[in-house]
Structures are given as structure tokens and as C-alpha cells.
A and B are shown apart, each in its own frame.
Chain A
Amino acid sequence: MGTLVNAENIRGVYYTGAKDVVAVNDVSIKIEEGEVLGLAGESGSGKTTLGSIISLIARPPLHVEHGTLEIDGQVQELGGHAKIPRTWRGAVVSMLPQGAMNSVSPTKRIRHLIYDVMRSHDSKISKGEALDRARERITALGLPTRVLDAYPHQLSGGMKQRTVTIISTLLNPRLLVADEPTSALDVTSQKILIEMLLEMLKERIMSGVIFVTHDLPVLRTAANRIAVMYQGKIVELGPTEIVVERPEHPYTQALMSSVLAPEPAYANTRIEGMSSFDRSLFDAPAVIHK
């Protein structure tokens, strides 16, 4: 199992009118082949920003000051005024957006989007071919083919999220960056979506997934490794069981102990809260588990 993606020295800053906000503070991370890497943290930790930088969609007022992305031996410069080839998006690295609700234009059917995506990467493809491929993929992953003809508002939340997941992976990207894919779903739909992602990974439709979420319990079932972010830096990185059950960084420890899970083990424990910025947590050195 080699390294799929090597992201190095990424620094992302929001240039707002008033003050510049450093959202991602010199972060480096590797994603291995075939793994789901959970990217966890509270709101404002920089995880979504890091996700959007890696999925190559960063744009003003978010500026990537420096950083590189290496995939399959090809190095792509991310910083400054680097030109990112349009065709990388969707085909090499793809995004699965948060809130699939609005990610598809409400006035067009799903199949329009699918055709547009495919012909943007292969200008010679015909509509029939594009839809055939989509249909194969859809049925292989257990969805009814009627979604192709549907308008977004005609699909339920869970169905929409799964449809969008398929659209995001139509071009068999190497890496899929999923931004809070389960946050808007009920528990059953969450389970179905995660199973679908794992299935797709097994089928090598994509070769790696970054799963960005603030929902820690979900990562226990979905992720192989977890990276915990705090104030723009990764403070702990390691296999799921270790990070969840035996975290070593004080922030991770505080985070895990503030999770409410409706399980018997928690029946008699006290849940502690956390303040939003704790200097001591920020200064503690990052913990990387092997």
C-alpha cells in the first residue's frame, strides 16, 4: 500500500477586508492507497479549507500562499498564482460537497449534469455513451436508474447525497474529498452512504477518500486513520482506534471526552465542555502515531 497523495506545506489564508485569517497553517499530510482518512475538528479548525485546497477548488478570498500536491508522481504547485489544470478537477481529485441539496442546479435534470461533466473531460463523447456509463455505475451501486431523469427536488435527502456521490466519482478520480457528507442525513442514510463509499473504495472506483467532518462518532466506522485539526494545524494523526480510544494530544483528549454518544458506557460519565481557544492546547506539540 503506497502513498496515493502527498500534500506538503499547505498554507491557506483568507484575505478579508479587515484582517487576514490563516485557516491552514503549514500543513502536510499523506493519504495512503485504499484508505479513508478522517479529517476531524470543530468549526473553524481549517478542515474544510484544507479539504477545498486539496480538491483544487480554492479561490479568492481564499489564497493558497504555498503548497504542493503530489499524485502518481506528478507534482502540482498550489501556491501563489499556480495554474491548476481544469481537467484535474473531477478526474484526479474530486470533491463531494457538503449539502448536496444545492449542489445541483434546480432547473436541470440529473442527466444534464452528468453529460456536462463527462463531455467537459472528453469532448467527443456522445450523450448516449455518457448516460450508459452513468447508468452502469448507478445500478452497480444500488440506485434506481430513474434518478437520471429526476430534478433535484424530486429526490430525498439521502438519495440526493448518494447520487451526488456517484456524480463526483464518475471519472474515477484518484482521491475523493468528501466535505461533511453525512451531516445533513439521518442515521440510516448515513450508514447507507458510508457503506457505499467503502464499497466504491473496494471496487477501486477511487483510490482514497478524505472524510472531513466534525461528527466524530461517524469516523469510528468510516475512517482508517484520523487527523485532528485545531486552529489550522494537525495536532494528532494516527489509526482510528488509537486516536479515538487512547488519544495523546490534550486537544484530542478534550474533544473525545466532550462527545455525546448514546451508549451504555457513557451512562455514568460526566461530559466536559471546552473553550474555543485554549493557548495550552494550541502550544502542545502535535502527536503523530506511526
Chain B
Amino acid sequence: MALAKYIGRKVAWTLVVFIVALLLNFLLPRLIPGNPVDAIVGQMARGGGSGGEQLEQIHQHYMQEFGLDKPLWQQFFIYIGNIFQGNLGTSFANYPASVGSLISQALPWSIAIQLPAILIGWIVGNLLGAVAAYKGGWLDRGAFIGSLFLSSVPPFALAIILLFVVGVQLGILPIGGAYSFGLTPEFSLAFFGDAITYFWLPFWSLVLVFIGGQAVGMRSMAIYELGSDYVNYNRGLGVKEGHTVRYIFRNAMLPQFTGLALSIAAIITGGLVTELVFSYPGLGTLLFNAIGQNDYPVISAITLLITIAVLIANLAADILTGFIDPRIRAVQSGER
């Protein structure tokens, strides 16, 4: 019962934050002075090819399309309505491509590197940290310094170094893109085999940093737990070490879960720039191009997507913690 209440509160809270995020996503870009449509039509006029009347029509069309002729609050409701219908608008820069289509092309690539990086990084990182803490000695010292370094290196820095060393100097792995020139994406083994070579460098850039971070965190928590009273008591009662170890890691993991959501936020945002370094056609490159072209619908949609991903990650981590740590749901539902 306490658990259900706890989950309920967390879901409600997530929704509240989501609404605030929607508001921000909507309002902030619209605070720019000037009318974006003017800018675009101005560009088109300079490019030549359309006469005065046609430009007028195009201008009107855009205004209607983007709803910029209506008052702000109406625009907001149109915006929300569209979102829930899955319509993220039309791209300014790549008119008439819809934002949705652009994103759906880029998204799978981003997920392909980030999801495995997060999962593998988390598991390996925590294991490494736990073992290092438990064994102590040289393994611990080496693992700690190494992880510390890896975790403080910005992912794009690691990306650049890897790209240079492995891609350019050693020439082992390709240096840009997601697949060889001339191929088209499809679900075939041949394509997969090719795409995977492009996958390694971006993947390793992300996963190494994540491992470093998790290892350092887990190691600290495990060290802390190793010195705690219940470990001592267990020992004093002759409990076999194997049993106690399970208690230790369970407790040490808790903060890692809480931290997981934030780590995910960090990986996602770090991954964006990593994609840039490798010209990997994921959301990062899309965002980069959109920024360069002042393509607000795309920018806005990507930021919203990132926010949603992070919120979901947060929620999942909170729920997991609620399952594992009985104190959390007790505190929340006022049991104490």
C-alpha cells in the first residue's frame, strides 16, 4: 500500500514537471524579438526566384501554418493539441519536411549508441567499483584513479581523442557517419555488419565515461558500507561473508539508483556533442544543424524529447528505489 501511494506521488509529480517543461519549451523560443517567418521569407526573396505577390502568399501561408497570427495563449493550446496528436510541427529550414519525420530518422541512431552505453556502462561500472572496494589494495587504487580520470573527462573529449587515435592515426575504424557511403539503411545483415564499424567509436566514448563515473560512485558507497555497524555485527555473529556481501551491495547500490536518472541525463546530453564529433546522424547532429539554421520547431521538439526521456528515466529510477529501499516509501507515506 505504501508502495502504491509512493508511486502515485511520483507519477503525479512527473506530470507536473512535464507541464512546466512544455510551457518552457513553448515560451522561450517565442521570446525572440522579431518574426521568424519574416526572416525565412526574407531569405527566400534574396535567393531569387519568387516575385512580390508569390512571396506575399508564402508569407501568409507560413503565418497560418505556424499560427503566428494568433494571440499567444491560443498558440499554446494549438501547440499542446498538436503535441498530443503527435504533430510536432513543420521544420522551418527543411520546409516542407515535418519535424516528426526528421526526428524519427535521427532518433534510432541516437538510441542505438546511448541505450547500450547506459546499460552496459551501469552494470560494468558498478561491478568494477564494488570489486575494487571489496578487494582493496592495488586493484582498488588503480581502478579508482582510472575511473576518476574517465569520469572527469568530458565525453566529447574522449570522443575526439578516440577518433584521432583510432580513426585517423591507426585507421582501424571509420571516422564519420553511421554507415558507408552509398548504402541505404535497411534491416539486413550486410548493412548491420557495416553500420557496426561506425558504431564502435561513439559507443566506446560514451560507455567508458559512464563506467568511470559509476565505478567511482559505487566504490565510495561500498567503502562506506564496508565500515558500517551492521557489517561488524554480522561478523560478530559469525555470519558467513557471502551473506553479508549481499547486504553491503544492496545498500551501496541505492544511491546509485537515485543517481542513475541524473547520470542518464548527463549521458544523453553528453551524447549529443559526441555525435557531432563523429558526424553521427542522430539527434545531436540534427540539433546542431537546427541551431545553425534557427529552426525553432526542430530545436523545440528535440529539447522536449530530451526532457521527456529524462523525466521517464527519473520516474523509473524512483520507482526502482521504492522497491528496494523500504525506508523511502515509509518516509514518503509518513510511516515514521
Contacts and interface: CB of A to CB of B under 8 A. Distances in A.
> Which of A97, A104, A105 is most buried by chain B, counting CB atoms within 10 A of its CB?
A105
B8 interface: no
B335 interface: yes
Contacts of A86: 238, 240
Contact of B235 (A57, A121, A153): A57
A88 B229 contact: no
A97 B238 contact: no
Nearest to B325: A107
Given A57-B232, A103-B230, A151 B238 contact: no
Interface stretch (B64-72, B247-255, B271-279): B247-255
B228 interface: yes
Contacts of A116: 234, 239-240, 243-244
A167 B238 CA distance: 12
A154 B330 contact: yes
A153 B333 CA distance: 14
A103 B233 contact: yes
A55 B236 contact: yes
B137 to A, nearest CB: 13
Contact of A89 (B236, B243, B254, B330): B236
B330 A153 contact: yes
Contacts of B232: 57, 97, 103
Contacts of A44: none
A31 interface: no
A180 to B, nearest CB: 13
B230 A102 contact: yes
A107 B254 contact: yes
A167 to B, nearest CB: 7
Interface residues of B, number: 25
Q: How large is the interface on A (under 10, 10 to 19, 20 to 34, 35 or more residues)?
A: 20 to 34
A114 to B, nearest CB: 10
Contacts of A94: 236-237
B142 interface: no
B230 A105 contact: yes
B251 A57 contact: no
Interface in A134-189: 151, 153-154, 164, 167-168, 171
Contacts of B236: 55-57, 89-90, 94-95, 97
Interface in A74-104: 86-91, 94-95, 97, 99, 101-104
A120 interface: yes
B237 A107 contact: no
B326 interface: yes
B336 interface: yes
Contacts of B238: 86-91, 117, 120-121, 171
B86 to A, nearest CB: 42
A91 B238 CA distance: 8
Contacts of B324: 107
Contacts of B251: 105-107
Contacts of A101: 229
Nearest to A97: B233
A96 to B, nearest CB: 9
Contacts of A154: 330, 335
> Which of B238, B244, B335 is most buried by chain A, counting CB atoms within 10 A of its CB?
B238
Given A117-B238, A121-B238, A104 B330 contact: no
Interface in A201-242: none
Nearest to A109: B326
A107 B236 CA distance: 19
A200 B111 CA distance: 63
Contacts of A91: 238
A103 B233 CA distance: 6
Nearest to A106: B327
B129 to A, nearest CB: 19
Interface in A39-83: 55-57
Contacts of B243: 116, 120
Nearest to B240: A120
B228 A102 contact: yes
Nearest to B324: A107
Contact of A153 (B240, B254, B326): B326
Nearest to B235: A57
Interface in B196-233: 228-230, 232-233
A106 B254 CA distance: 11
> Which of B236, B240, B324, B330 is most buried by chain A, counting CB atoms within 10 A of its CB?
B236
B229 A99 contact: yes
B62 to A, nearest CB: 58
A108 interface: yes
30 contacts: A57-B232, A57-B236, A86-B240, A89-B235, A89-B236, A90-B236, A90-B237, A91-B238, A95-B233, A95-B236, A95-B237, A97-B232, A101-B229, A102-B229, A104-B230, A106-B326, A107-B247, A107-B250, A107-B325, A108-B247, A116-B239, A116-B240, A116-B243, A120-B237, A120-B243, A151-B327, A153-B326, A153-B327, A153-B330, A153-B336
Interface of A: 55-57, 86-91, 94-95, 97, 99, 101-108, 113, 116-117, 120-121, 151, 153-154, 164, 167-168, 171
- What are the nearest 4 A-B pairs in CB distance? A89-B238, A90-B238, A90-B237, A102-B229
Given A90-B238, A104-B230, A164-B233, 16 more contacts: A86-B238, A86-B240, A87-B238, A88-B238, A95-B233, A95-B237, A105-B247, A105-B250, A106-B327, A107-B254, A113-B234, A116-B239, A120-B237, A120-B239, A120-B240, A171-B238
